[in-house]
Amino acid sequence: MGNTRWMLWGLAFACIVILLLAVNQGDGSGDEISYSKFRSEVAAGNVKEITYDNTSARITGKFDNGDKFHTTGLDPFPTADLELLQEKKVVQKNSTPQASFLEQWLPVLIFPLLIIGFFVFMQRRAQGQMGNIMSIGRSRAKTYSTERPGTTFADVAGYEGVKTEIREVVDFLKYPEKFSQIGARIPKGVLLVGRPGTGKTLIARAVAGEAGVPFLSVSGSDFMEMFVGVGASRVRDLFQSAKKMGRAIIFVDEIDSIGRKRGAGLGGGHDEREQTLNQMLNEMDGFEATEGIVMIAATNRPDVLDPALLRPGRFDRQVVVPLPEHDERLAILRVHAKSKRISPDVDLAVVARGTPGMSGAELANLVNEAALHAVRRGGEMITRDDFEYARDRVLMGQRRESMALSEKEKELTAYHEAGHAVAATVLEEADPVHKVTILPMGMALGVTQQLPQEDKHSYNQQYLDDSIVVAMGGRIAEKLVFGVVSTGANNDLVVSTERARKMVREWGMSDRIGPMAWGSQGAVFLGEDLMGNARDYSDETARVIDEEVEKILRAAEKRCEDLLTEHRNGLDLVARGLLEHETLDGSEVRRLVELAANAPGPAVPAPAAPWSPSTAED
């Protein structure tokens, strides 16, 4: 609309310029000569005829040879020159042109027209602003119909259980008679719950392509405005628009932005958010006939939603969208690799097995990072090494090429990572070592990467104990070899302490605490963790929890020290391999540890005296 208006203004301006040029261009035919030369040519008898303009004293004429000319004469025309023209028998014509309408009125009207145009423009602009103010309470939902199917369930890899539940809603909207014959009532609301990147919005877009009914998509933040009551008005307009369409699907993304618990948090509630939520609850209650309208919402924070929003009759069904399993990750990788030039040496099944815990968005990013690396190295296809690089970058961070470690820091880092690697190789319950490197990556000076052989959903106590021992490996290796500890074990200690605390406080893995569990502290903004409500156990119990956490960590430290002392030859061989090659894969680490176990005696001499490292990070 704005571009069209400016095009009209530009066209009008161009027309005015063209008219002015046409009016003022005059008759410029022939050569321009001076008046004195004109008299000379007349005196020589070379002029055949002339035309004299009584208004502008302009003279146009033609020579005997047919050439045209023009000049500016005198006003009034001199008598002597007239006699000369008569003497030479020059045909003389006089003209008095009349001014055109534009020449007469355009100079007078152009300024008032510009003023009128300016006031018209300002009036329309004010009306547009007033229209925006009057439409502030209208819904901002985007409507999709069957002519724009977009994504379908065929584009959603895996998640067959989720698609089955969502497809039931789609079938109800397409074929309601099948459900009405048996008396079944479709849920009014379906809540998609899952971590960020698991594909909740993608599944909702697939519903738009499969439903065959209008699909209204809106984000939770679209309801919020600085004026109280605007959100509630937009909710009413959204449902009224859906009712006019008959059967329809309403999708609200990030519903937790308006569906949080009412009256919670510091300083009381939020009037605008609470009024918006109240209006949504009323619309979903069915005070008016809303048959054929299904609401789908997505969130990654179901714990913050108001209980009234989740009760039956509103969001009757909650569909969990979990992290993909191995087969689902393989299907997702195939979808994203479909448009890529993949080398035959790439086995996507191996890539899927090496990416446990990754969401669909992270897998898409993994494939894209592999493609970018292939372009940077000048390759024509994405190879297995590109996927390996991409996985290392996603899991461990970008390699810091500019960081140069001193020989002492490199040796300390090598033994630190060797301690992790040896502990993970020897312990039965620990995840196998995939790769060890002393190249600085991300925020770490070295990384030991472990990958489980299969997806795990629950963890026994032995696995957790062994994981803490592996985390202690770097610190204990430094202590055994150099007699000092460095700051490199900071993250290891944080992870170990948090895991041990959960074992005691949440998972009931302490004999002194017994079968009791206390969850983590609630979020302050929800009003669940204020002042005296920070914990629901006594000071004596807190002391016992601290003692049990310390007991688990001390026991893991002792186990790790005994283990690395027993496998000191393997520790030295792995550290020497890291110093020589900088990176070792899991199979090489296992070979070195097994080789050292069959060859008693020190593999390399330890440093003669302890030293104090500067800074090192894990």
Residues 550, 547: Cα–Cα separation, whole Å: 5
Alpha-carbon gap, residue 387 to 155, rounded angstroms? 23
Whether residue 325 lies in the annotated active site: no
| DSSP assignment letter at 296 | E
Adjacent-strand bridge partners of 207: none
CA angle in degrees (0–180, nearest 5) for 346-432-461: 135
Task: Provide the Cα torsion 135, 136, 139, 144; round to 10°.
Answer: 70
Cα separation, 513 vs 515, in Å, equals: 7
Buried b (16+ CB within 10 A) or exposed e, 46-71: ebbebbbbeeeebbbbbeeeeeebbb
Sequence-distant (≥ 6) Cβ neighbours of residue 373 within 8 angstroms: 386, 389, 390
DSSP state letter for 99: P
Spatial neighbors of 603 by CB under 8 A, at least 6 apart, are: 568, 569, 572, 573, 576, 596
Pairing of strands 248-253, 215-219: parallel
The residue from 254, 409, 417, 548 that is catalytic is: 417
Sign for the CA dihedral angle at 388, 393, 394, 395 comes to: positive
The CA radius of gyration of the chain, in Å to the nearest whole number, is: 42
On whether the CB atoms of residues 445 and 409 are closer than 8 A, the answer is yes
User: If you write DSSP's letter for every residue of 140-209 in order, what string do you get?
Assistant: -PEEE-TT---S-GGGS-S-HHHHHHHHHHHHHHH-HHHHHHHT----SEEEEE--TTSSHHHHHHHHHH
- Which of the residues are catalytic? 417
